Amino acid sequence: MVKLMVVDNERDICDFVKNFFTLRGYEVFTALSGEDALKIIETEDPLIVLQDIRMSGIDGIETLKVIKEKRPNNRVIMVTCIDDLSKMEKAKKLGADGYITKPLVLDDLVKAVSEAVHKLKPNK
Amino acid sequence: MVENINNEKDAYTWKVIHNDLVNHIQERPHFTPSGRLKAKQKIDYRLVIENASRSMIRFKKPERLIRMIVRVITEQVGVDHAGVLLHNEKNKAYVLIDSKGVIGKKIPVGYIRIPEKNALIATFDERRSLLLDERGVLTYDNLKAILKDKDLLKKNNELKERINKIRKEMELISANVCIPAYFKRKLLGILVLGPKISHRKFDRDEIGFFVTLANDAAMAITNAQLIENLQEKIREVEHLYEKEHRLFIHTSIALAAAIDARDPYTAGHTARVTHYSLSIADELEGHKEIKQFNKFKEDLHISALLHDIGKIGIRDNILNKKRDLTKKERVIAMKHPEIGAAILRPIRELGNIIDGVKYHQERYDGKGYPEGLKGSKIPLMARIISIADTFDAMTTDRPYRKKRNIVESIQEIKKNSGTQFDPKITEAFLRAYKKGKLV
């Protein structure tokens, strides 16, 4: 089972995404903050990360940076808002693997995740 | 369904709805605490919510009605989640604006959208009768049943594809029933219901009831939008009026400055007369001749600014003469109110503002000019400007005499109350003076 982590300050979103991708055959971990996400990256090493760009505490950009340093082969999809353009630029430079704009189209979310799975290095 | 509800749940439902109603529609007497239904009494939640939604249709905040509908359906019908997608112009999509449900099933508010082009939306937009039931509702069971009808689909690949797309969309949001809400022919929103926690099917009555609620919500949303649009229009009109009014005032000030510039002795005269006139008017709120106080003050403002505009037509040697005017010259000088009225008459928007200009030299006893009007025949605006004008003339230097002191001038005005001036206006003038507004 592919491990997927959802990182979002909103518990509702974490719960929903967990249920949504569990039903679709993923093993899902939830992190309510960047701090939690970095712990889970160490212990569980989820290959796919679905992460909100705007977070309190360690924000989405900083979390992305650390994840990409520690696990360069893991795929990180950023969830953004339309007016997050400057943050999106930063995320691009740091090697984010995909973007999805909130409010999002669920079909796009499914596709973005499965594309990220396809892009994973085979030896991983 | 209704019979199964136990008393405890009834009481809770009522509490929920009651709180909503007491909070939001206190003016409706049958919902006040004194009219509270007894908790023990069996309540048909449909009746309560229907009544509530009826009253809320007229309400300004449709979100509250939507929130209540979603909450009551989730709790009373026992679905694992329910939500409302509402059309959003900016996103060109239907966005989830409210939802309830069990952990993990509840779709977070604002998290998802369904684009306008989506097959599900298109089906509601076109009101395709085949996929929707007779009330326009889309159910997952119905789609599955149609997909089993091989004869029907054999000839129609496009239909099959479309049904599969809709089915996929319903699976993504784990919807069992989708109920559209329209205004005229436009799809405003969709009420989305997940499966029942009991795994039972939705019955016809229930779905019929949801359709009613969806329509009520659509009506409430539309009304709120119409009200909002109307308020927007009113704000625009008010803004335009404001702009036009400012232009009017500034034009009048410019004209008044032109008059003042010709006569060094009366420099600032117009500004002072305007100030005195408006101060007197403030003491006249509620006067029987004033219908709309603010409008009256606006008109008086312009009238006072323009009251001496006719002096433009009087020769300098008369206007600035240091000695007494001859009889002939006085006749010419006395023409300025009429000249002023004649200058302004082409500006139709001024209306009765011109009266203040034309009649500000009339006297209450009928001995003034140009027409010798008497008492209340003299327009109110003119009666006000008359006192303001006289007071300023007394308290400033003139070519033919030095100014008097204020106390003397006030005495003089009092003395002429009932002869030169309207006694009521004189009283208002004295009140304004005592309040220190004329200094």
CATH number at residue B86: 3.30.450.40
Contact call for B104 and A15, based on CB within 8 A: yes
pLDDT band for A8, please (50, 70, 90 cuts). Answer: very high
Alpha carbon of B174: minimum distance to chain A alpha carbons (Å): 9
Query: Inter-chain contact A106–B104, Cβ cutoff 8 Å?
Result: no
Mean pLDDT by 10 residues, chain B (439 residues): 40 53 37 36 60 61 81 87 93 94 95 95 84 91 90 85 94 96 89 94 88 85 83 92 89 86 78 95 93 93 93 86 86 94 90 94 96 96 97 83 85 95 96 91
Report chain B residues whose CB lies below 8 A from the CB of A105: 93, 112-115
pLDDT in tens, A41-57: 999 999 999 999 999 98
B222 and B271 in a single domain? The answer is: no
Contacts of B166 (CB under 8 A, 6+ apart): B119, B120, B123, B131, B138, B143
Domain A3-118 top-level CATH class: alpha beta
Cα B96 to Cα B122: distance, rounded to the nearest angstrom: 17
Structure-token pair, residue B406:
């204020």
Q: H or E element: which one contains B97?
A: strand B93-101
Instruction: Tell me if B239 is assigned to some domain.
Output: no
Angle between helices B406-415 and B423-434 (to 10 degrees): 160
- Counting one residue from A and one from B, how many pairs have CB atoms under 8 Å apart? 44
Residue B439 lies in a domain: no
Interchain pair A15, B168: CB under 8 A: no
Say yes or no for a CB contact (<8 Å) between B108 and A10. Answer: yes
* Disruptive mutation site among B111, B112, B117, B168 for chain A (greatest number of A CBs within 10 Å): B111
What DSSP state is assigned to residue B325? P
Residue B96's pLDDT is 95
* Residues B51 and B123 reside in one and the same domain: yes
| B144 CB neighbour count, 10 Å cutoff | 11
The answer to whether residues B187 and B295 belong to one domain is no
End-to-end CA distance of chain A: 13
A contact residues 47-106, partner B, Cβ 8 Å cutoff: 102-106
Residue B115 distance to chain A (closest CA, Å): 8
A108: contact with B, CB 8 A cutoff = no
Show which of residues 3-22 on chain A sit within 8 Å of chain B, judged by CB atoms.
10, 12-13, 15-16, 18-19
Which of A10, A16, A106 lies nearest to residue B104, judging by beta carbons? Answer: A16
Query: Which pair of tokens denotes residue A63?
Result: 């979390």
Query: In sequence order, which residues have a C-beta less than 8 Å from that of residue B127 and are 6 or more positions away?
Result: B136
Does a structural domain hold residue B355?
A: yes
User: A20 to chain B, minimum CA–CA distance in Å?
Assistant: 8
B372 part of contact set with chain A, CB < 8 Å:
no
Chain B residues inside the 8 Å CB shell of A16: 104-108, 111
| DSSP 8-state symbol, B177 | E
Is residue B292 located within the same domain as residue B182? no
Cα B359 from Cα B338, distance rounded (Å) = 8
Distance CA B367, CA B375 (A): 11
Distance CA B364, CA B342 (A): 23
Last residue of a domain, one of B229, B252, B284: B229
Does the distance separating the beta carbons of B111 and A104 come in below 8 Å? yes
Q: Are residues B191 and B319 in the same domain?
A: no
Tokens of A12: 């509702």
Domain range for B206: 2-229
Q: Do B222 and B285 fall within a single domain?
A: no
Q: pTM for the full model? A: 0.64
**Residue B151 falls inside a structural domain:** yes
- A16·B110 Cβ contact <8 A: no
Q: Has residue B107 been placed in a domain? A: yes
Strand partners for B401: B398
pLDDT reported for residue B52: 65
Q: Among residues A111, A98, A108, which one has the least CA distance to residue A51?
A: A98
Residues B176 and B57 in one domain: yes
Q: Cα(B180)–Cα(B113) distance, rounded to whole angstroms?
A: 16
Number of domains making up chain B: 2
- Domain C-terminal end among B184, B209, B229: B229
Cross-chain Cβ contact A15/B93 below 8 Å: no
CATH code assigned at B327: 1.10.3210.10
Q: Do A103 and B113 touch (CB under 8 A)?
A: yes
Q: Which helix (H) or strand (E) holds B81?
A: strand B81-88
Would you list the domain boundaries of chain A?
3-118
Question: Within this chain, do residues B356 and B214 fall inside the same structural domain, yes or no?
Answer: no
CA distance B389 to B136: 75
Whether residue B310 sits in one domain with residue B213: no
Last residue of a domain, one of B204, B229, B254: B229
Compute CA distances B258 → B269, B307, B385, whole Å: 12, 13, 19
Quote the tokens at residue B130. Answer: 């085949």
Of A15, A18, A104, the CB nearest to B112: A104
Check residue B201 and report its DSSP letter. P
From CA B215, how far away is CA B413, in angstroms rounded? 70
